[in-house]
Amino acid sequence: MHINSVSAKILAGTEDGLKPFGFEYGFNPGLNILTGDNSSGKSTILSCMYYCLGMEQLMGSKGINALSPALHQVLNFEGHPCNVYESSCSLIITANNGKQYTLTRRIVSSDEITINEILIFDGITTTPKFVHSARDHGDQGFYQWLAEVNELEIFNVESFNGESTKPLYMQNVFSLAFIEQTKGWSDIFSMMPSFGIKDPRQKVVEYSLGLNSLELNMKLDQIKADKNQIKGEWKRIDNDLIYRAQATQLYLSIFDKNKPITDDKIEGIYAAELNNDGKEIKISQITKIIQKEIDDSDKRIELTDTSKDISKDLISTREKIKESLSTFISERNDASGLYDEEKVKLASFKSSLSSTINDIQGFQDVKKLSISRNWESLSTSKCPVCENSVENKKDAELSKETIEKSIAFLKSQKSTYEKYIEASESVLERYVSALAYYDKSIALKRTQLDSIHKDLNSPSSQSVRGELEIQAELKHRLNDIKQFNSYLKYAKSRMKNLSKQYFILDGEEKRLKGLVSTDEETILKFKRSFISLLDSFGYKSNGVKNITIRDQAPHRLMPIVFIEGQEPQYIRYVSSASDFVRSIWSYYLCLLEMGSLHPGFLLMDEPGQHQMRVDSMKELLSHSSKLGKQVILAISQDRDYDKKDVNISALIEGIEPSKIHMLHIEDKTYCISPTEIPTNDSGL
């Protein structure tokens, strides 16, 4: 990408009424030098470039606060203050896709177009996009458009807390292209916002140079997120097992509850209880003990006298239990069917809720625009209450009132779905409880029938009644333990599945971490280019032979200096102020030249910091003229170099005129001046 021109239009009040003011400056693809007196407005012109690209955060502020008051408050005309009533600025760029665009952004607006909208004119149509708001890297956001037309990918990278990933924002990427005058020379990428990204400076360098380590780290970040998700599921299974074990009056053996373990260790998980002697008895032993007690009871029943008649009461009771069992089974089947239906309804509600939330976000994005308000993907087509069709807004121009009504409707719809989901989940919980009740009741009735069958064939119902009561209790306990044991086996199966996924990820993570970097050649080339350029600029502190750039901590991918007897030091800490400025020149220029993913231009405001030597400045300008990339330098017309007043003409001496585009703000004037209103454009 390169900048073709920047302009500003201002309507301000003068003694003669409202008058138009502004400026316009054109730039060439190669070296451009903007000169003028110290207070001529060079930074004002450059700030409009930041502003039109939505990059004023790289100046340390957002919105109009990043701009000169002359653009949005009061400008001086012929010694008189003039209040600004309306203003805007425009930037014409040629993007990396080869197309030209005009970006216009309001500064002071009297209509509904806001300062956080950037209007994009492609020669045929004008499209609004918004900045500095949630989802400004989304479909309606300016930064996604900026990335797409400049063929810059938006990668997800590790966040500062290491628990999630965040996008590498365009403000991070465009910090490669801007060095601001006041704070921009204090450090490499000093004005880059971090946005919670871990090691953002290193990430941007990896991104620009196309290093494989960025993609590698992205994969590692995703593996980390996937492992954390598996750990969360592992803990949920553990909590569920503990709850069920306690409900069955058992306890679980000790195992790692924070992350998956091997299959052998999973197989070793067991449930147990303590006997009267305080000794541990596992489930397998408990079931044997209970079954033995039941068998012993059966033997005692068999030894009972067989001379008495079968009890008519027991026969009557048996029939009642059979009828009750049949009812339980029928009701259980009905409940199971309703449970399955409710699950389908819940899934449908959740899907509709997700679509509604997306629609709300879409309308809220469109609301931030003032023109071309089209909504192309209204996914919800029916009201959840009355089932009436919702009007499709595709390709329709949406008024502010329509958007507000749509958002209000969708929020009401969202609230309705949330209530439906809450109610449905509550119903499902009741069905689960009901099914559990029916399962226990059916098992108990079958146990009772089994006992009565034995009782009817026993010698005396009276003699076996006590035994039957004991058996019923024992069989109920045995049934609970068997159900828990079945669930434990099921849980172990799930745990093994999670363990398999976890250890595959763990192995892949170790493999990726163990890979020998394939970036060595690129980093070596970058280091050599940096050192060579630094040497040509006249760096003297410590000598360039002691400087390197490494793909390892500390200060990974940043220039460091080796000093005998000391740990490697970041170059800023051990360089003079002017030498560190030289290192900033070198670093940014090398990234501009070598970067495969780069905005494509470099803007430096007052690069001659800290009494910079004339020979260094001349070399900077000479090198920039030969790069074949756009470099824009704002340099004061007359300033001290080597404690001498040096004119800009002395700095460009020896450079071919065809390789420099000079833009000069007239002496003792300001960049903003009266203009004529074009006949075909009465607005801003």
DSSP states along 303-360: TS---SPPPHHHHHHHHHHHHHHHHHHHHHHHHHHHHHHHHHHHHHHHHHHHHHHHHH
Lowest pLDDT segment from 129-138, 258-267, 339-348, 399-408: 399-408
Residue 380 above 60 pLDDT? no
- Bridge partners of 561? 547, 569
pLDDT by residue (tens digit) across 27-74?
A: 999 999 999 887 788 989 999 999 999 999 999 888 898 899 999 999
Split at pLDDT 50, 70, 90, the class of 683 is very low
**Residues in contact with 10: Cβ distance below 8 Å, sequence separation at least 6, in sequence order:** 20, 21, 22, 71, 75, 84, 86, 87, 672
Give phi and psi for 279, each to the nearest 5: -90, 150
Mean pLDDT of 120-139: 87
Domains of the chain: 2-210+595-674 (3.40.50), 212-306+476-518 (no CATH), 309-458 (1.10.287.510)
Q: What is the pLDDT of residue 379?
A: 43
Please give the pLDDT value at position 151.
92
pLDDT greater than 70 at residue 161: no
Which tokens sit at 570? 């970041």
Identity of residue 296: D
pLDDT of 433 strictly over 90: no
Instruction: Tell me what pLDDT residue 99 has.
Output: 96
Q: How many CB atoms lie within 10 A of CB 670?
A: 20
Tokens of 415: 């609230």
75 contacts 672 by C-beta, under 8 angstroms: yes
Which of the four pLDDT bands, split at 50, 70 and 90, describes residue 580?
Answer: very high
Is the pLDDT reported for residue 377 higher than 50?
A: no
- Tell me the three state secondary structure of residue 610: coil
Is residue 476 helix, strand or coil? helix
> Taking a C-beta distance cutoff of 8 angstroms, is the pair 530, 587 a contact?
yes
Pick the more confident residue, 560 or 109. 560
Residue 25, pLDDT score: 95
Helix axes 461-514, 212-247, angle to 10 degrees: 170
What is the residue type of 233?
Answer: E
Read off the pLDDT band of 599 (50, 70, 90): very high
Strand spans (E) along 425-567? 547-549, 559-561
Work out the mean pLDDT of the chain and round it to a whole number: 83
- The yes-or-no verdict on residue 455 having pLDDT over 70 is no
If you average pLDDT over residues 146-168, what whole number do you get?
Answer: 73
Which of 224-228, 299-303, 411-415, 587-591 has maximum average pLDDT?
A: 587-591
- Of 640, 584, 555, whose CA–CA distance to 186 is shortest? 584
Nearest CA-CA partner of 342 in 428, 434, 430, 429? 428
Residue 54: what pLDDT? Answer: 93
Residue 355 has pLDDT above 70, yes or no: yes
Those residues whose C-beta lies under 8 Å from the C-beta of residue 361, and which sit 6 or more positions away, are 135
User: Quick one: pLDDT at residue 395?
Assistant: 43
Structure tokens at 63: 């919105």
> What is the Cα–Cα distance from 428 to 437, expressed in whole angstroms?
14
Check whether 231 has a pLDDT greater than 70.
yes
Confidence of residue 410 (pLDDT cuts 50, 70, 90): confident
Query: Which range has the worst mean pLDDT, 455-464, 488-497, 579-588, 606-615?
Result: 455-464
Q: Per-residue pLDDT tens for 243-278?
A: 888 888 788 888 888 889 999 999 988 888 877 676
For 76, 128, 178, 684, the CA distances from 71, given in Å and listed in that order, are: 11, 22, 21, 13
Start-to-end C-alpha separation, the chain:
25
**Contact predicate 113/124, CB 8 Å:** no
- pLDDT higher than 50, residue 419: yes
The shares of helix, strand and coil residues in the chain, as percent rounded to the nearest 5, are 50, 20, 35
Cα angle at 112 between 111 and 115, to 5 degrees?
Answer: 95
Using the 8-state DSSP alphabet, how is residue 549 labeled?
Answer: E
Pick the most confident of 200-209, 451-460, 468-477: 200-209
CA distances from 330 to 334, 437, 506 (A): 6, 13, 49
Kindly indicate the confidence band of residue 138, based on its pLDDT and cuts at 50, 70 and 90. confident
Q: Which residues contact 296 (CB under 8 A, 6 or more apart)?
A: none
Whether 397 has a pLDDT exceeding 60, the answer reads: no
Q: Residue 393's pLDDT is what?
A: 46
Nearest to 595 by CA among 151, 159, 221: 151
Q: Which of 98-102, 406-410, 510-514 is predicted least confidently?
A: 406-410
Pick from 602, 600, 596: nearest CA to 215: 596
161-165, 184-188, 304-308, 586-590: which has the highest mean pLDDT?
586-590
Which phi-psi region, left, alpha or beta, contains residue 506 (left: φ > 0; alpha: ψ -120 to 50)? Answer: alpha
What's the alpha-carbon Rg for the chain, to the nearest Å?
38
Instruction: Give the pLDDT confidence score for residue 467 in this predicted structure.
Output: 67
Q: How many residues make up the chain in this entry? A: 684
Name the residue with tokens 């009905």.
334
Separation CA 196–CA 199 (nearest Å): 9
- Evaluate whether 467 touches 300 at the Cβ level (below 8 Å): yes
Unique residue bearing structure tokens 């921009």: 184
- Give pLDDT tens digits for 188-198: 999 998 888 88
Q: Calculate the dihedral angle through the C-alpha atoms of 593, 598, 602, 603, rounding to the nearest 10 degrees.
A: -170
pLDDT of residue 294: 83
pLDDT in tens, 70-112: 999 999 888 889 999 999 999 999 999 999 999 999 999 877 7
Identify the burial level of 400 via C-beta atoms within 10 angstroms of its C-beta, where 0-12 means exposed, 13-18 middle and 19 or more buried. exposed
- The pair of three-digit structure tokens given for residue 156, joined into one six-digit string: 């997800």
Does the pTM exceed 0.75?
Answer: no
Higher pLDDT, residue 614 or 586: 586
% of the chain residues with pLDDT over 90: 36
378 vs 443 pLDDT, higher one: 443
Looking at per-residue pLDDT, the higher value among 439 and 71 belongs to 71
Quick one: pLDDT at residue 41?
A: 86
**153, burial (CB in 10 Å: exposed 0-12, middle 13-18, buried 19+):** exposed
Q: Which range, of 242-246, 314-318, 328-332, 351-355, averages the lowest pLDDT?
A: 314-318
Is a pLDDT exceeding 50 seen at residue 308?
Answer: no
State residue 162's pLDDT score: 54
**In the prediction, which pLDDT does 309 show?**
45
**Per-residue confidence (pLDDT) for residue 107, from 0 to 100:** 93
Mean pLDDT lowest for which of 279-288, 305-314, 376-385?
376-385
From residue 115, give the alpha-carbon distance in Å to each of 254, 603, 682. 61, 24, 19
d(CA 218, CA 118): 31
Question: How large is the average pLDDT for residues 459-470?
Answer: 61
Question: pLDDT above 70 covers what percent of the chain?
Answer: 85
Four-CA torsion 541, 544, 546, 552, nearest 10 degrees? 110
**Residues 541-569: what's their mean pLDDT?**
88
> Does an H or E element contain 3, and which?
strand 2-14
> Mean pLDDT over residues 479-483, rounded?
87
